[in-house]
């Protein structure tokens, strides 16, 4: 299960913003793009030919990629997710020179979709309710993260990509039900002060070990604390989701066809 599972539903929405152009791209995306361009330019100089980005191989993918209990995961859903994951892997392969193992990636994506489906099925089986107020608050939070003025601006951006407000609200409701499911199953996932300090000391050692100027760039604990808290919370949440998926699989009827 991908560690980004903890926010996969909202991430799917946010990913659409990237298609709007550079304004929707993250700093990491831009950095990766720049590195890929530099690597490509280097390849051109060395060989006299433009380095080509690998293409996703979707030949032979069945119409029903997997079946989870009575629910089918269709080729269309798999393809959309696979292309997104492949694009990231392909960019890394341009920088590292290591070829993308597409067979392995297909299995990972299929398993990820199976896990997501199991979680959604379980969340829907419980009496979780999500109010309009909760959904609107969540959308405001996402808009803020994307540096947009309001949820209306966020919805407008998504509408430009062909996603209607009703679809967005349905996806947000699913994500919030998953959050309620996780809270009920895993309880408090807030990292302790001790855990954050231990993570800080580890980070500091890694930076000092790197040597050079990085030694003087180590931030204080208080400066690094918000980032460390977010990182540890994300790790705990991903681990809790993974455990829940593994437990659900034990009683589920799952068949993967890739």
Domains of the chain (ranges; CATH) run: 3-256 (1.10.4030.10)
Residue 78, pLDDT > 90, answer: yes
Sign of CA dihedral 103, 105, 111, 114: negative
Residue that wins the pLDDT comparison between 45 and 106: 106
Bridge partners of residue 254, in order along the sequence? 68
Residue that wins the pLDDT comparison between 197 and 142: 197
- Residue 96's pLDDT is 84
- Residue 106's pLDDT is 94
Number of H helices, E strands in the chain: 9, 3
- Residue 135's pLDDT is 92
Residue 22, pLDDT > 60, answer: no
Condensed to tens digits (0 to 9), the pLDDT of residues 28-76 reads 444 544 555 455 445 544 444 445 778 899 999 999 999 999 999 999 9
Which of the four pLDDT bands, split at 50, 70 and 90, describes residue 211? low
Bridge partners of residue 62, in order along the sequence? none
Q: Does the reported pTM lie above 0.75?
A: no
Condensed to tens digits (0 to 9), the pLDDT of residues 152-209 reads 988 888 888 888 889 889 888 988 998 899 999 888 889 999 999 999 999 988 888 7
- Residue 214's pLDDT is 47
Cα distances (angstroms) measured from residue 218 to each of 28, 45, 198: 20, 37, 15
Q: Which long-range contacts (CB under 8 A, 24 or more apart) does 2-7 make?
A: 2/108, 2/112, 3/234, 3/235, 3/238, 4/238, 5/112, 5/115, 5/116, 5/238, 5/241, 5/242, 6/234, 6/237, 6/238, 6/241, 7/175
- Measured at the CA of 169, the angle between CA 166 and CA 171, to 5 degrees, comes to 110
Which of the four pLDDT bands, split at 50, 70 and 90, describes residue 222? very high
Average pLDDT, the chain: 81
The DSSP letter of residue 63 is S
The DSSP letter of residue 191 is P
Residue 80, pLDDT > 80, answer: yes
Residue that wins the pLDDT comparison between 222 and 54: 222
* Residue 258 · residue 107 · CB < 8 Å: yes
Which of the four pLDDT bands, split at 50, 70 and 90, describes residue 11? low
- Residue 26's pLDDT is 40
Around Cβ 133, how many Cβ atoms within 10 Å? Answer: 8
Joined together, the tokens standing for residue 218 give 């180590």
H helices present in the chain, as ranges: 8-18, 27-47, 75-96, 102-125, 132-145, 151-160, 165-186, 193-210, 221-250
In the sheet with 254-256, reading across from the earlier edge strand, the strands are 71-74, 64-68, 254-256
Q: Is 139 helix (H, G, I), strand (E, B) or coil?
A: helix
- Residue 123's pLDDT is 92
Residue 12, pLDDT > 80, answer: no
Residue 24, pLDDT > 60, answer: no
- Residue 51's pLDDT is 57
Residue 21, pLDDT > 50, answer: no
């Amino acid at each position: 299960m991908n560690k980004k599972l903890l926010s996969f539903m909202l991430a799917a929405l946010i990913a659409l913003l990237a298609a709007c152009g550079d304004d929707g791209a993250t700093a990491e995306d831009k950095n990766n793009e720049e590195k890929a361009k530099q690597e490509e330019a280097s390849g051109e100089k060395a060989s006299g030919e433009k380095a080509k980005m690998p293409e996703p191989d979707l030949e032979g993918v069945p119409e029903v990629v997997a079946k989870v209990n009575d629910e089918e995961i269709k080729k269309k859903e798999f393809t959309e997710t696979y292309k997104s994951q492949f694009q990231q892997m392909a960019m890394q392969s341009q920088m590292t020179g290591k070829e993308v193992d597409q067979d392995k990636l297909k299995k990972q994506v299929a398993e990820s979709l199976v896990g997501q489906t199991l979680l959604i099925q379980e969340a829907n089986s419980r009496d979780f309710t999500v109010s309009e107020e909760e959904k609107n608050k969540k959308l405001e939070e996402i808009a803020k993260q994307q540096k947009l003025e309001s949820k209306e601006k966020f919805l407008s951006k998504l509408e430009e990509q062909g996603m209607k407000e009703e679809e967005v609200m349905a996806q947000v409701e699913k994500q919030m039900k998953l959050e309620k499911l996780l809270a009920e199953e895993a309880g408090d996932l807030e990292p302790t002060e001790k855990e954050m300090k231990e993570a800080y000391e580890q980070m500091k050692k890694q930076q000092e070990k790197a040597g050079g100027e990085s030694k003087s760039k180590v931030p204080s604990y208080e400066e690094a604390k918000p980032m460390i808290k977010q990182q540890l919370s994300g790790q705990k949440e991903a681990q809790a989701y993974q455990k829940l998926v593994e437990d659900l699989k034990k009683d589920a009827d799952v068949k993967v066809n890739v």
